[in-house]
Chain A
C-alpha cells in the first residue's frame, strides 16, 4: 500500500467520523422505524411555531425501544383507526426509554389541543400517566433537547413558549407530577408574561413590564 493510499484512507475515515448530519434533530425514531401507518394528514403548520403543548397519553408506560415502538403504534391505532383522525394526534411522542418518536413532525398540524391551539402549536406527549409518577430524567432531557433543537433549526421561534395541556384545554393532562416539572422549564409560560429580570427593572426604573 503506497503512502498516498494510506493517507487517503485515513482522511476518509476521519471524514466519516466527522460527518454527522446537523440538519435533523436526531436521534428521533422515525415513522418507518416504529412501523407507523401512513399519515393521511395534509394541513401544514405555519412556521416558526410559537407554542409547545406538553401532554401525556395517560396510557401504558414503556421502558425499552421495543415496547415504546409498540406503544407508539397503539396510540396511533387509537387515534387513526378508532377516533378516525388522519394520523396519531401528537407531533412527537416521548418514551421512558429516553427516545423521541416522530408523530406528525414539525410540519403538520397536530390534533392534541383543540381548534384554537392545534394550528399554532407543536404537541409533544409523554407516553404514560404522570398524575402520580414522574418521567425518568432521560425522557425529560430528550424532550428538552428536541425543543432546543427545534428552536435552533427554526421550527420553533427562539422565544417559544411551553404550555401544559391543562393550560389550554379542560384536562388533567399532562398529569400533576409532570405538570409541576414543566412549570420549572425555562420556556414555560403558563399565564402571565415573564417580566424582565428584577435587576433590569430596578436599574432602568421600570415599574412593571
Chain B
C-alpha cells in the first residue's frame, strides 16, 4: 500500500480503493474553510424538520426509564442571540400544556413526547428537549431545526416521523469521519501531517450521513474487492494450466 501523494487537494473521494481512505482523509481535511468546518461541527448535530403552517410538530425525545424518571424535563428554544427560552416544563406531572406546546413525559417507557400545534412561520428556529438539573441541562435527542413554510404541503401527514432524519450538512466538503469515534485512528493513518488540523487527530462522530454511508460502503467494498481479486487470480492460473494441457 503506497502512501498517498502529499497535499493532493480536491481529490474526488472515489479513487482507487486502496488509496481511497488515505487520500480522501488527507484532502478532505484540507479543503474547505475553517469557518465552514466550525459551522459544520455545530450543525452536524441538528435534526431538521420542515413543516407547513398549521401542521403539528411531534418530537420523541428518549429519556431513560431508570435514571431521569423523577427529573423535570423541558422544551426550549435557542434564539439566534444565544438566549435560551424555556417554553414548557413538566412540573412533576406527566402532561403539561402551555399554549401551543404539549409535553408528555412517559417515564415507564423512557420517552418524552413533545408536540407543537398550529405551527406558524415565526416558530421556525432551533429547539431542544432537556432534562433540568442542578447543573447544566442535559440535552436529549438532538436539537431540532424547525422550518415552517407558508405554502401547504398537502394534507397533514400522520405525524410519526415528520422530521427528515438526514443531517443538515449539504454543501460542505466531507469531513473526516470514522464509523467508531476513535480519535487516534486518523493520526495513525496520515503519514506526514502538514497542518495543525490533521495533527489534532480529531474525528467527527458519525452523524454526517453521506460520509458515514460512504465509509460503510468502503468497509464492504474492500473485502468484496479482495475476494474478486483472489478469485480472478485463481481463474487466471487455472486457465493458464488448462491452456498448457490442451496445447500439448
In the complex, A197 Cα to B41 Cα: how many Å? 11
0 or 1 for each of A7-18: is its CB under 8 Å from B? (1 = yes): 100110110011
Q: Are B181 and A209 in contact (CB under 8 A)?
A: no
- The reply on B87 being an interface residue by CB < 8 A is no
Give the distance to chain B from A201, nearest Cβ to Cβ, in Å. Answer: 9
In the complex, A116 Cα to B206 Cα: how many Å? 26
Which of chain A's residues have a CB closer than 8 A to the CB of B141?
193
Stretch among A61-69, A85-93, A99-107, A152-160 lining the B interface: A152-160
Q: Are A191 and B180 in contact (CB under 8 A)?
A: no
0 or 1 for each of B23-55: is its CB under 8 Å from A? (1 = yes): 000000000000001100110010000000000
Residue in A6, A158, A191, A194 whose CB lies within 8 Å of B242:
A6
Q: Are A22 and B234 in contact (CB under 8 A)?
A: no
Give the distance to chain B from A35, nearest Cβ to Cβ, in Å. Answer: 31
In the complex, A157 Cα to B68 Cα: how many Å? 26
- The reply on B160 being an interface residue by CB < 8 A is yes
Q: Are B235 and A208 in contact (CB under 8 A)?
A: no
Residues of A95-150 at the interface with B, using a CB-CB cut-off of 8 Å, are 114-117, 119-120, 148
Q: Are B111 and A116 in contact (CB under 8 A)?
A: yes
Stretch among B8-16, B56-64, B88-96 lining the A interface: B56-64
Given contacts A158-B216, A186-B180, A200-B41, contact A17 B64 (CB under 8 A): no
- The reply on B243 being an interface residue by CB < 8 A is yes
- The reply on B189 being an interface residue by CB < 8 A is no
Given contacts A7-B239, A10-B239, A152-B217, contact A167 B161 (CB under 8 A): no
In the complex, A197 Cα to B106 Cα: how many Å? 31
Q: Are B220 and A17 in contact (CB under 8 A)?
A: no
Residue in A1, A119, A168 whose CB lies within 8 Å of B109:
A168
In the complex, A161 Cα to B47 Cα: how many Å? 14
B: interface residue count bin: 35 or more
Which of chain B's residues have a CB closer than 8 A to the CB of A186?
179-181
Q: Are B235 and A10 in contact (CB under 8 A)?
A: yes
- The reply on B183 being an interface residue by CB < 8 A is yes
Which of chain A's residues have a CB closer than 8 A to the CB of B41?
196, 200, 204, 206
Q: Are A170 and B45 in contact (CB under 8 A)?
A: no
Given contacts A193-B45, A193-B139, A196-B45, contact A204 B38 (CB under 8 A): yes
In the complex, A18 Cα to B201 Cα: how many Å? 38
In the complex, A198 Cα to B181 Cα: how many Å? 11
- The reply on B238 being an interface residue by CB < 8 A is yes
Residue in B110, B167, B200 whose CB lies within 8 Å of A168:
B110
Which of chain B's residues have a CB closer than 8 A to the CB of A200?
41, 202, 204
Which of chain A's residues have a CB closer than 8 A to the CB of B183?
197-199
Residues of B177-223 at the interface with A, using a CB-CB cut-off of 8 Å, are 179-181, 183, 200-207, 209, 212-213, 216-217, 220
Which of chain B's residues have a CB closer than 8 A to the CB of A6?
239, 242-243, 246
Which of chain A's residues have a CB closer than 8 A to the CB of B122?
none
Which of chain B's residues have a CB closer than 8 A to the CB of A152?
213, 216-217, 220
- The reply on A56 being an interface residue by CB < 8 A is no
- The reply on A46 being an interface residue by CB < 8 A is yes
Q: Are A14 and B232 in contact (CB under 8 A)?
A: yes
Q: Are B165 and A10 in contact (CB under 8 A)?
A: no
A–B Cβ pairs within 8 angstroms, 5 of them: A158-B212, A169-B110, A186-B180, A191-B67, A203-B202
Closest 4 CB pairs of A and B: A14-B235, A199-B202, A158-B212, A116-B109
